[in-house]
Structure 1
């Protein structure tokens, strides 16, 4: 199921990029509304949250894809993310364990310990966390802006 969602997120990513580009162009053009700053902050928070979801869904699909590929087929063992391990470690490989939060793919050794597979998921985790943090900070900025305006109105 995550793989299908991944394909949808991959198709939605260019639409997201086009929406961001159009919004940036509209902000640069003359004739903006007087409250354009607050609207831009709210819109940016929503787009950051959408980007975090898109990146995370792509990562979920990638993890599920790797897990599915490792469980079936002629070239499935060892799992693709585990093939880059050192030769001494690769010989002790007993299985794999996908992780959906945080995104990752662990390679299980014969003594029960785990070794992280390829680091391809680290940047997806960082990107999703960065977009999520940006969304939260932008929502806080909107709240501070509203509070500042309310205090200015109450002083007059």
Structure 2
């Protein structure tokens, strides 16, 4: 059961990260579109409270851990455009760590059960016998 849950968490983590990657790819496609009304970059326009910085946008950069689309400014600074919500990377990391912990727990449980099964099949320890096995001989 733990192994199946670990696999599910791993798969869910991959799906969430892939969804964030698609959002990031969409922002890059929008930024590279060019043409009329392409300055400032389309993904950089969605941020409120940064209207004065919009005219300073000269480029962009992307990050993969965490997933982010940054708008670069003429003064060398940058800001996150919000094209990829911060929760995407957080959820992907949480699911991946949970999956790893569950995989370790599943491995531990399987080893513990295997040791228990091997003791049962071997007849278990003989509590009446001494360390050399000579006490029960007549």
TM-score (norm 2): 0.74
SS of 1:111's partner is coil
- Superposed CA deviations along residues 79-138 of structure 1, whole A, max 9, x for unmatched, are 333211512222322111122332100010002222121164311101111111111011
How far does residue 69 in structure 1 lie from its aligned partner after superposition? Answer: 0.8
Q: Which has the higher contact order (CA 8 A, sep 6+)?
A: 2
Contact 2:24 2:83 (C-alpha < 8 Å) held by counterparts: no
- For residue 91 of structure 2, the aligned residue among 123, 127, 140 is 127
Q: Which position in structure 2 is the counterpart of 1:78?
A: 40
Contact 2:5 2:99 (C-alpha < 8 Å) held by counterparts: yes
Q: Which position in structure 2 is the counterpart of 1:96?
A: 60
TM-score (norm 1): 0.66
Q: Which position in structure 1 is the counterpart of 2:71?
A: 107
Query: Aligned-pair RMSD on alpha carbons?
Result: 1.9
In 2, Cα distance between equivalents of 1:96 and 1:129: 24
In 2, Cα distance between equivalents of 1:44 and 1:80: 40
Q: When you count helix as a share of all residues, which structure comes out higher? A: 1
Quickly say closer, same or farther: Cα 1:81–1:114, change in 2 above 3 A: same
Q: Which position in structure 1 is the counterpart of 2:24?
A: 63
SS of 2:85's partner is helix
Contact 1:42 1:139 (C-alpha < 8 Å) held by counterparts: yes
Larger Rg belongs to: 2
How far does residue 77 in structure 1 lie from its aligned partner after superposition? Answer: 2.8
Aligned length: 117
